[in-house]
């Protein structure tokens, strides 16, 4: 499928990206398309370094800035899955010094791990250290020393308020729980297991030669000036410090598609269930165009929803985006700020790809599985005793399911829920979806035919 998908649109895709590159004029641009676990198309445009005429390729390193936050969130979720923290834990549980911060809206315990992860804590956006202007970012000691100057600026959960400071503090949580620096934890627990071998928070001689030079465009001149980029972002590594390449980020996007089974494919640094949790959109802005998952942002274009995170730092603008249903992603990395090239490239490419997927011939259906004889008696339509509607018990794709029938008021009902047999006669339990965890207890007549079932406090009569 991947080969056919790219063959169908490769010329059009490359032409459109080349057009955007010519319009936006960044010095260099690396673009890649990920389908499931593969980098199926990639191309470098322009130069990684103007002085040496070094071209951009899939191994060129870029400072991906706030895309780093998705790695920080993953580290937090790993620790959560290990039982070392809860998402509703207050920050002061791990950083007691934070009690010196001000929260005019309530107790300081309202600043929780989850609210920090989702930019809902109301915390100010930055440490008061002028780091974006000076490129001298606060160390861990600076981060802690400045705590009395931090304040909750708006009421927690009242609105989305983006905060780099929140992620710097989350990086400190990772360090304190793990007993390692944040960068060392991410290297050993995330980057190395995924094979992201050239990704780093601190440039070494072996990686410096791969690094793109960041540039600051000038509004009145053609030639951009090199940006002053620090060797490390200190405590801001957790917010914006990762340097990585198109080839390495492919492995990051591929991880996001390993949600179909507990085992997964390749390195599974997170449970499939946890990845699903991180991708779940929790809040949406009015109009349902923009939403927020667990650190990933969500954008709805028509019927397509794309999860993504952008990054912007001195001399670099980056984007990583993906569509879960079609298991396709786009990575766009540039070595210049000021242009919208990476966002335009990512979303236009993904829209082009999703259209191509829908236009492809559909695969023939898999071999149908016959209903086991012992399940046939349950199949049929049921109506609730005390309210309207219809529920169906069906056997589909090798599973017994309970499905809500569409109605005028609900033309698109929730997905059906698989039913798992229990050790009790005529009793099943729903394993997913709206009724997950509920028992379905089927009632039989004296002749042995099914006449009804109960689920929770509701009874459904067979038609």
Positions in the chain whose pLDDT score sits under 50: 1, 262-264
The reported pLDDT for the residue numbered 4 is 73
- State whether 314 and 434 are in the same domain: no
Say how many domains are in the chain. 2
The reported pLDDT for the residue numbered 262 is 43
Question: What is the spatial distance between Cα 228 and Cα 238, in angstroms, rounded to a whole number?
Answer: 20
- Is 118 among the domain residues? no
The reported pLDDT for the residue numbered 263 is 44
- State whether 288 and 348 are in the same domain: yes
Question: What is the spatial distance between Cα 307 and Cα 329, in angstroms, rounded to a whole number?
Answer: 9
- Is 129 among the domain residues? no
- State whether 183 and 290 are in the same domain: yes
Neighbours of 223 (CB within 10 A): 9
- Is 238 among the domain residues? yes
- State whether 353 and 273 are in the same domain: yes
Question: Which one of 359, 382, 407 terminates a domain?
Answer: 359
The reported pLDDT for the residue numbered 63 is 97
Q: Do residues 350 and 330 make contact, with C-beta atoms less than 8 angstroms apart? A: yes
- State whether 234 and 336 are in the same domain: yes
Closest CA to 275 of 74, 124, 111, 104: 74
- State whether 208 and 318 are in the same domain: yes
The secondary structure of residue 189, as a DSSP letter, is I
- State whether 53 and 197 are in the same domain: yes
- State whether 344 and 380 are in the same domain: no
Question: Which one of 359, 387, 408 terminates a domain?
Answer: 359
- Is 58 among the domain residues? yes
- State whether 267 and 413 are in the same domain: no
Q: What is the CATH number of the domain that holds 440?
A: 2.40.128.50
- 283 Cβ neighbours under 8 A, 6+ residues apart: 118, 120, 160, 291, 292
- Is 66 among the domain residues? yes
- State whether 199 and 282 are in the same domain: yes
The secondary structure of residue 283, as a DSSP letter, is E
What is the chain's length? 463
The SS3 of residue 448 is coil
Residue in this structure with the two tokens 């529920």, named with its chain if needed: 391
- 6 Cβ neighbours under 8 A, 6+ residues apart: 13, 33, 35, 40, 41
- State whether 191 and 291 are in the same domain: yes
Domain that holds residue 377: 373-462
Q: What is the CATH number of the domain that holds 32?
A: 3.40.710.10
Question: Which one of 318, 334, 359 terminates a domain?
Answer: 359
- State whether 384 and 339 are in the same domain: no
The SS3 of residue 385 is coil
């Amino acid at each position: 499928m991947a080969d056919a998908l790219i063959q169908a649109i490769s010329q059009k895709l490359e032409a459109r990206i080349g057009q955007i590159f010519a319009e936006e004029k960044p010095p260099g641009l690396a673009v890649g398309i990920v389908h499931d676990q593969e980098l199926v198309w990639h191309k470098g445009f322009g130069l990684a370094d103007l002085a040496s005429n070094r071209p951009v390729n899939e191994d060129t390193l870029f400072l991906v800035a706030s895309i780093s936050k998705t790695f920080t969130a993953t580290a937090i979720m790993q620790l959560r899955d290990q039982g070392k923290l809860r998402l509703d834990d207050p920050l002061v549980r791990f950083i007691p010094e934070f009690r010196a911060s001000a929260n005019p809206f309530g107790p300081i315990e309202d600043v929780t791990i989850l609210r920090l992860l989702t930019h809902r804590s109301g915390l100010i956006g930055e440490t008061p250290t002028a780091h974006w202007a000076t490129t001298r970012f606060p160390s861990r000691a600076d981060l802690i020393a400045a705590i009395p100057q931090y304040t909750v600026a708006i009421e927690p959960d009242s609105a989305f308020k983006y905060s780099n400071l929140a992620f710097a503090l989350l990086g400190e949580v990772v360090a304190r729980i793990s007993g390692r620096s944040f960068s060392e934890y991410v290297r050993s627990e995330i980057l190395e297991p995924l094979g992201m071998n050239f990704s780093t928070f601190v440039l070494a001689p072996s990686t410096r030669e791969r690094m793109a030079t960041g540039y600051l465009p000038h509004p009145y001149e053609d030639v951009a000036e090199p940006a002053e980029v620090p060797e490390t972002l200190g405590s801001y590594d957790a917010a914006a410090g990762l340097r990585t390449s198109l080839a390495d980020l492919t492995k990051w996007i591929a991880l996001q598609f390993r949600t179909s089974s507990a085992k997964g494919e390749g390195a599974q640094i997170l449970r499939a269930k946890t990845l699903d949790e991180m991708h779940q959109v929790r809040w949406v802005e009015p109009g349902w165009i923009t939403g927020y998952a667990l650190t990933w942002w969500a954008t709805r274009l028509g019927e397509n929803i794309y999860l993504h995170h952008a990054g912007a730092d001195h001399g670099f603008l980056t984007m990583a985006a993906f569509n879960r249903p079609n298991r396709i992603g786009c990575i766009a990395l540039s070595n210049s700020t000021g242009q919208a090239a990476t966002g335009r490239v990512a979303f236009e490419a993904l829209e082009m790809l999703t259209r191509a997927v829908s236009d492809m011939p559909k695969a023939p259906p898999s071999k149908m599985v016959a209903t086991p004889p012992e399940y046939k008696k349950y199949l049929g339509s049921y109506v609730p005793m005390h309210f309207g509607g219809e529920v169906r018990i069906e056997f589909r794709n090798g599973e017994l399911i309970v499905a809500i029938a569409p109605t005028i008021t609900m033309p698109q009902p929730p997905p059906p829920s698989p039913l798992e047999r229990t050790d009790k006669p005529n009793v099943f339990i729903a394993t997913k979806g709206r009724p997950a965890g509920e028992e379905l207890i089927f009632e039989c007549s004296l002749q042995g035919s099914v006449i009804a079932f109960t689920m929770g406090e509701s009874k459904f009569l067979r038609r």
